[in-house]
Amino acid sequence: MTPEQLQGDRWIACLHPADRQRTLEAWQTAIRTQTLYEVEYRMQQGRTGAYRWFLARGMPRKDNQGTILHWFGTCTDIEDRKQAEQQLKASEENWRVLAETLPQLVMVARPNNQNEYTNQRWRDYIGFTVEQTQSDRWAYLQFIHPDDREGARAHRQHAQDTGEMYEHEERLRNSQTGTYRWFLTRAMPVYDEAGQLVKWFGTCTDIDEQKRTEQRLKESEENWQTLAETVPQLVWRVQPDSWVDYVNQRACDYGQTTREQLLGHGWHYLLHPDDKERERVTLDHAFRTGIPYEVEFRLREGQTGCYRWFLTRGMPVCDETGQVIKWFGTCTDIEEQKRAEQQLKESEENLRVLAETVPQLVWTTRADNRLDYCNQRYCEYTHAAFEQLQGHGWRQFLHPEEAEGILALRHQTLETGEPFESECRLRNGQTGEYRWFLARGTPVRDETGQIVRWFGTNTDIEDQKRIEEALRQSQERIRALIDSNIIGIVSVEGEEEVLVEANEAFLHLTGYTQEDMRSKTLNRVKITPPEHASFFERAIQEVNARGQHTPLETEVICKDGSRLPVLVGSVIFQERPRQTISFVLDNSARKELEQRKDAFISMASHELKTPLTALKLQTALLHRQLAKQGIPASAPALSNMEGQINKVTRLVDELLDVSKIQAGRLEYLQETVNLDALLREITETMQQTSPSHRIVVRGIVETSLIGDRDRLGQVFINLISNAIKYSPDAKTVEMDLSASEDAVTIQVRDHGLGIPREQCDKIFDRFYRVTDPKQKAIHGLGMGLYIVAEIVKRHRGTITVDSEVGKGSTFTVTLPRKRDA
């Protein structure tokens, strides 16, 4: 530009538009006030067109009156200074922004400790303004936790004295909440070029979380150790190179050794030699892969020197990068468990052996009812392999009619856990036939009471079922019989023979009622005559021996006290408790008939007796007259006639005796009887009339009895004549006499036909004769032994017979020596 171009106000155009107004104002103010003009502006460089900063200054020159003559001015290029200023401002700006952005509390302090700057965060937290801290160089100590103040002061003093960095962990109070948090306070000294301390730059970093974590870590480490010492296991920690750096006290106690000995690889010496290899392989794998491991091995107990089984578990601990930094582990004593397992195994083994031995089908299922074992017998019966039966396979063998019910029952018992029992049919795999089984299942529980299995058996009850069915049918038949009321039937229970049930026919006969039966107040003794007790005793013996007794003629005492003749037969119906059923037939009609027969016999024999006596007398008379007339030739015929008459007389006598016994009218004399003399007399007489047999008498009784001589004689005559009569082929009949202090015994023995065992008792009954044809061929009426037994009984003696068919019989009569008065 030329000077002309700048004259007047035109220089203004050279200024930066933004500065023109301001510059003009300053200039006008200077003119008006006549003072120094000073202004900074940007002026365009004519050549480049760029603006540069200038400091313009104008000084008025005045005359004596003070009127301005000239203005002298200078423009100094201040572009470089301006730029430097600008940069400093910008950097300061940046620093502040940074200081405000930082998550820390930031402050700048002068060398004398007075704050020069604090960021917003600092002010918010501490609650002090810059000015407040300026008044007292130790003011900041107020917001440090009392416990940390002393440390803080000392550290600061030291930093100031030495000019070293200040670093201190201290708790600072939050002015808003009044609570303290941990901070790491750091202050850095700043020096100028001359090495003079000009400032402290400080930050407080909140490390509260970190502190707490550290604390927690410390506590957890302590807890861990405490835990490790408390647990009932052996606890250890091992470094990744398998170096053991911790073991708990229990481990030392177990090995009876010191911790030092166990650390490192020391513990290996406790390991059972047989388990070393397994342990090594497992650990190698675990350490290589970083996968938790489990291994069982035996460790030697220091005190006993015995090895016990342990379950060892190792667990890796990794850092953030996933690197294993250590392994923690425990060894749990499982000796007992091992033993129990062994025992279980053995007992399972035993169970299996047992299961294979028993005659049942044996099975086990898991808790969900799936079959997991069955014995060989099961496979054989179903003709199926185990694989076909396992799980639910066995169900196919159930009979369709029961299948659903059985499964429902199983379902229910699985829920309730109750043992079950049910009957079902199972198909025989080979024949296709179904048989009945009784299925029984029991749950097996573990120590917590949880069902772990079901154990069961299927017992073949087909035969039992059939028997039951047969029994049911027979019971039905019996019931039908009882209900038919054709004969009286009464059910008797127990040793007391209590009447528990009777049909209408029985009640009708006796007059008792169902109520009498229900009340169970009647028993056999009550309803039978006491004099028949012995008959019943014999009947009971027979029932015990053969399950039943031969019909017994007796009487029932009816409800009204009257006696009803009956025929009773009984059978055992049930053994335990004893139950017998008796059949009762009204015998009164027969009894009456018998009475009439007895009356007839009695009458007939009386009627016969009179003409017989006359006949006998007349024959004797005739005998004598013929002898007188000297006609002996007719004597044999006559004596034959006499013999026949005697026979008939004896017969009639016996008939009379029988009817007297029946009527209870047989009379006995009471006299002293010399038994030896009596027997001698009888045998001599009988030897004369029976030359076919030799009668041998052995022994003597040497005693007298009180009784009826003729009646006793009748006993032995009868026994000897029977012995002769029923031993047609024998040569002798023997009689043995003996005596004891109380009784005399007379035995009559023959070597004849003998008597079948079952008829031995009956031969003493009235009119009873042995049914054997050989015996039948021999004449007789079955009255002799009846009278004999009656006479012996009346003399308080006994008579028994011992006999063998084809060999002979022995009749034994025992008589008391002294009869009671």
Give the interface with ligand ADP as residue ranges (CB under 6 A).
Answer: 722-723, 726, 750, 752-753, 755, 763, 769-770, 775, 780-786, 809
Q: What's the closest the beta carbon of residue 549 comes to ligand ADP, in angstroms?
A: 22
d(CA 607, CA 200): 171
First to last CA, the chain: 196
Nearest CB to ligand ADP, comparing residues 301 and 761: 761
Q: What's the closest the beta carbon of residue 695 comes to ligand ADP, in angstroms?
A: 13
Count the Cβ atoms, other than its own, within 10 Å of residue 152: 21
What Rg, from alpha-carbon coordinates, does the chain have? 70
Whether cis (ω within 30° of 0) applies to the bond prior to 232 is no
**Is 429 exposed, middle or buried (CB count within 10 Å of its CB: 0-12, 13-18, 19+)?**
middle
Max CA pair span of the chain: 250
Q: Which of 715, 610, 594 is closest to 654 using CA atoms?
A: 715
Angle at 271 between CA 265 and CA 272, to 5 degrees: 150
**Is 817 exposed, middle or buried (CB count within 10 Å of its CB: 0-12, 13-18, 19+)?**
middle
Give the three-state DSSP class for 688.
helix
Nearest CB to ligand ADP, comparing residues 109 and 697: 697
Q: What's the closest the beta carbon of residue 763 comes to ligand ADP, in angstroms?
A: 4
d(CA 767, CA 662): 13
Nearest CB to ligand ADP, comparing residues 408 and 781: 781
Half-sphere exposure of 486 (CA within 13 A, CB side): 5
Nearest CB to ligand ADP, comparing residues 306 and 777: 777
Nearest CB to ligand ADP, comparing residues 180 and 786: 786
Nearest CB to ligand ADP, comparing residues 250 and 725: 725
- Rounded to the nearest 10 degrees, the angle between the axes of helix 709-725 and helix 784-794 is 140
Nearest CB to ligand ADP, comparing residues 255 and 754: 754
Q: Sheet holding 234-238: strands in order across?
A: 244-247, 234-238, 324-333, 307-318, 293-300
Nearest CB to ligand ADP, comparing residues 79 and 653: 653
Half-sphere exposure of 517 (CA within 13 A, CB side): 17
Closest chain position to ligand ADP (CB):
780
Give the torsion sign (CA, 632, 636, 638, 643).
positive
Half-sphere exposure of 89 (CA within 13 A, CB side): 6
d(CA 76, CA 55): 5
d(CA 121, CA 105): 6
Count the Cβ atoms, other than its own, within 10 Å of residue 814: 18
Nearest CB to ligand ADP, comparing residues 501 and 802: 802
Q: What's the closest the beta carbon of residue 718 comes to ligand ADP, in angstroms?
A: 6
- Residue 572 contacts by C-beta under 8 Å, 6 or more apart in sequence? 543, 547, 548, 578, 579, 580
Q: What's the closest the beta carbon of residue 720 comes to ligand ADP, in angstroms?
A: 9
d(CA 293, CA 329): 9
> Can you spell out the DSSP letters for 670-684?
-EEEEHHHHHHHHHH
Give the three-state DSSP class for 558.
coil
φ/ψ (deg, to 5) at 502: -150, 150
Q: Sheet holding 51-62: strands in order across?
A: 37-44, 51-62, 68-77
Give the three-state DSSP class for 576.
coil
d(CA 671, CA 208): 139
Q: What's the closest the beta carbon of residue 780 comes to ligand ADP, in angstroms?
A: 2
Give the three-state DSSP class for 297.
strand
**Is 44 exposed, middle or buried (CB count within 10 Å of its CB: 0-12, 13-18, 19+)?**
middle
Q: What's the closest the beta carbon of residue 760 comes to ligand ADP, in angstroms?
A: 9
Identify any residues that bridge with 299 across adjacent strands, giving them in sequence order: 271, 308
Identify any residues that bridge with 61 across adjacent strands, giving them in sequence order: 70
Q: Number of H helices and number of E strands within the chain?
A: 25, 30
Q: What's the closest the beta carbon of residue 650 comes to ligand ADP, in angstroms?
A: 11
Q: What's the closest the beta carbon of residue 675 comes to ligand ADP, in angstroms?
A: 21
Nearest CB to ligand ADP, comparing residues 22 and 807: 807
Q: What's the closest the beta carbon of residue 801 comes to ligand ADP, in angstroms?
A: 8
Nearest CB to ligand ADP, comparing residues 240 and 782: 782
Count the Cβ atoms, other than its own, within 10 Å of residue 757: 11
- Residue 344 contacts by C-beta under 8 Å, 6 or more apart in sequence? none
Q: What's the closest the beta carbon of residue 784 comes to ligand ADP, in angstroms?
A: 3
Is 801 in contact with 811 (CB distance < 8 Å)?
yes
Nearest CB to ligand ADP, comparing residues 51 and 786: 786
Q: What's the closest the beta carbon of residue 558 comes to ligand ADP, in angstroms?
A: 34
Nearest CB to ligand ADP, comparing residues 362 and 658: 658
Nearest CB to ligand ADP, comparing residues 669 and 781: 781
Nearest CB to ligand ADP, comparing residues 200 and 786: 786
Give the three-state DSSP class for 496.
coil
Q: What's the closest the beta carbon of residue 764 comes to ligand ADP, in angstroms?
A: 8
Q: What's the closest the beta carbon of residue 602 comes to ligand ADP, in angstroms?
A: 19
Q: What's the closest the beta carbon of residue 785 comes to ligand ADP, in angstroms?
A: 3
Position 620, amino acid:
A
Q: What's the closest the beta carbon of residue 660 comes to ligand ADP, in angstroms?
A: 16
473 membership: H or E segment, kind and range: helix 462-484
Q: What's the closest the beta carbon of residue 606 comes to ligand ADP, in angstroms?
A: 21
Q: What's the closest the beta carbon of residue 654 comes to ligand ADP, in angstroms?
A: 8
